[in-house]
Amino acid sequence: MAVVIATSLRKELAGDVLFDGVSFKVERRERLALAGPNGAGKTTLLRMLAGQTDVHGGELAFEKGTRVALHDQRPPLELGLSLREYAFSGAADLIAAERELARLEAAMAGGDASPTTLARYAETQATLEHGGGYAWRERAVASLRGLGFADADLDRPLTTFSGGELTRASLARSLAGGPDLLLLDEPTNHLDVDRLEWLERELQSLDAAIILVAHDRWFLEAVTTSVLELDGGRSIYFHGPWHAWRREKAARALHAEKAADRIADDIARLERFVERFRYKKEKAKQAQAKLTQIGRLATERAKHADELERLTVKRRARGFDFLQPKRSGRTVVEAEELAVDAGDKQLLRGVTFAVERGEHLGLVGPNGTGKTTLLETVLGRREPTAGRVRLGHGVDVAYFSQQEAELDTRGSVLQCVQRATSLRRPEAQALLGRFLFSGWSEHEKPVTVLSGGERRRLALAIVVASGANFLLLDEPTNHLDLESREALEAALEAFPGTLLLVSHDRALLDAVAERTLAVEDGTLRSYDGGWADYVRRREELVEAAPPPREPAPPTRKQRPAPARPPPPSELELVEAEIAAQEKRVARLERELAEDWTHVERLAAHRAARNELQALLARWEQLFERAQA
């Protein structure tokens, strides 16, 4: 059964139509990706589904009792919440249900056994069970852990976290309450590969309908079961995985192109006839008919041209074609027994590698393991703790950082480009135009007011125009849409110089990297190939690892008495009690489902549930003690 059905949705912004006639349905366990260019209305559609913005036409129908959660990357810092409180706030209805149950139980304990009270109790109990029952808090904490938070972070105020951490907190909050409809707006932002893979597994396992907007192609391929494309105010629904939709879209573009070419040939043939016979009386009537036919064909051709324009995956005006760089020496960079620290934190030890001219390398590893610090050490911006690193002869470096630290924020966008590239004004304006900074107002915009995506495009423009033969790129696809990512990917593949790329975009890594440097166990290891080759080789090494050797059995004289198994820890004992208590609560609830008027069963259920809550609280204390 469908969790949500949208029929002919219409949305207007400032009197202009953003989209109209958008229809789709999403069933439980279906994962629908919203596709389309920036500004097509993907985020707006998510907020319409969440009830945060008005529907100006059409209809939204939800399955009865549907619980909706939206991840929109905007934690409310002004509320002064801790991380735990913020994550739990995603299940406000479950907290309210628990309070209502406690109130009703107190009333029943005082002798209130009216049909109204019993019916209200049954309804509230069903609401809580629909959201996952009494274990929802532990599942919420598990989501926080899965997204990279430590137990020590749970009671820290939100104001003490970075922007990326707050985005992950918003994602954990949306998962906390076990929603029926989960709406995710760019959930992959600020996640390293380990967290991305955790999120992929989590979404694949959820018994919920999911609608998401993402620019990570690997993630979309792993998660998506259907696609809704928004473009030009219209929508097209496609049932199938991401790659199948892309193939279907390319086929439609090819069909539109062939149809437009065929119609153009027909028009040319008819025009030749008209030109030849329009002034001959015996053919004038036919010529006039042909003119009418040409008009109809021209209209049809225009429709196909519009369709082709809409469907074609364009690399338009992105300008990611790099200048031909000067030739460097054979060895571009060489590191020997390098040690890298960040303050008091030891990051890397014993790092030895060399990069040769023309190599394209990917640098991968979890967040916080020293990838950016290593790049800055290669650049000479940081001193290594030990060892040495040097650049080769004739190496000209361009660095693209995560924070766009290389941008000169004094003055306008045009002035920034001219200072960074020494281009003359007309050349700098042409470069900005290729990166979608068009016209006087865009060129004179202060760098300080640019959005995240605009800053990335400006920094990329400077790197493209640098003429450098060694590019160090740190997360270059952040804030770029799919079209820009694919254009950048094609340009990097064709770049004739040397490239060292840090990215969590696995599709980019797989397409561009010829060798992968992986941060593992505090050092750097080299693997041939891109991301898929690295994953395959990593799995092969795990499978090939010999099992731990068992000690040789003692001789008969030395054979000891059979060892007794160690006694279970208190944590293990509490876990066993929780499992048994959960079964008891479930059994009582099944019995109550048959007869909610049985007062003794209600009392037994209340006592069993309270005992389960106490056991869960005890388990959390023991777990935190064990992790300390």
pLDDT in tens, 543-589: 776 666 665 555 544 545 555 556 677 777 777 777 777 777 777 76
What pLDDT score does 232 carry? 81
Instruction: Please compute the mean of the pLDDT values over residues 464-485 and round it to a whole number.
Output: 84
Average pLDDT of the residues in 267-287: 60
What DSSP character marks residue 89?
Answer: G
DSSP state of 65: T
Counting Cα atoms < 13 Å in the Cβ hemisphere of 20 gives 5
On the question of a common fold for 2-245 and 331-543, the answer reads: yes
Residue for token digits 């309450």? Answer: 177
- The C-alpha torsion from 384 through 385 and 387 to 389, rounded to 10°, is 0
Mean pLDDT of the chain: 82
Domains of the chain, by residue range, sit at 2-245, 246-311, 331-543, 573-627
Cα–Cα distances in angstroms (integers) from residue 174 to residues 70, 162, 239, 473, in the given order = 6, 19, 25, 32
Looking at residues 602-626, what average pLDDT do you find? 72
Using one digit for the tens of pLDDT, what is the confidence trace for 28-64? 999 999 998 777 889 999 999 999 999 999 999 999 9
How does residue 316 score in pLDDT terms, banded at 50, 70 and 90?
very low
* Rounded percentage of the chain residues whose pLDDT exceeds 70: 82
Specify the pLDDT at position 23.
Answer: 94
Task: Check if the beta carbon of residue 512 is closer than 8 Å to that of residue 492.
Answer: yes
pLDDT at 266: 66
Residue 389 in contact with residue 382, Cβ under 8 Å? no
* Mean pLDDT of all residues in 304-322: 53
Compare 303 and 177 and report the one with higher pLDDT. 177
Q: Which CATH class is domain 331-543?
A: alpha beta
> What percentage of the chain carries pLDDT values higher than 90?
35
The answer to whether 181 and 67 have CB atoms below 8 angstroms apart is yes
Amino acid 144: pLDDT: 92
The alpha carbon dihedral of 408, 411, 414, 420 has a sign of: negative
Give residue 114's pLDDT.
Answer: 86
Pick 407 or 199 by higher pLDDT. 199
Where is pLDDT greater, at 489 or 288? 489
Q: How far apart are CA 609 and CA 606, in angstroms?
A: 5
Cβ-based neighbours of 519, under 8 Å, separated by 6 or more? 348, 363, 364, 365, 366, 369, 370, 371
- What are 354-411's pLDDT values in tens digits? 999 999 999 999 888 899 999 999 999 999 999 999 999 999 999 988 765 567 888 8
Total-model pTM: 0.72
Gap between the Cα atoms of 152 and 456, Å rounded: 34
Total residue count of the chain as it appears in this document: 628
Q: How high is the pLDDT of residue 450?
A: 84
Question: Residue 313's pLDDT is what?
Answer: 43
3-class secondary-structure state, position 15:
coil
Class of domain 2-245: alpha beta
Q: What pLDDT is stored for residue 385 in this prediction?
A: 92
Alpha-carbon distances, residue 514 vs 23, 261, 530, 539 (angstroms)? 43, 40, 6, 19
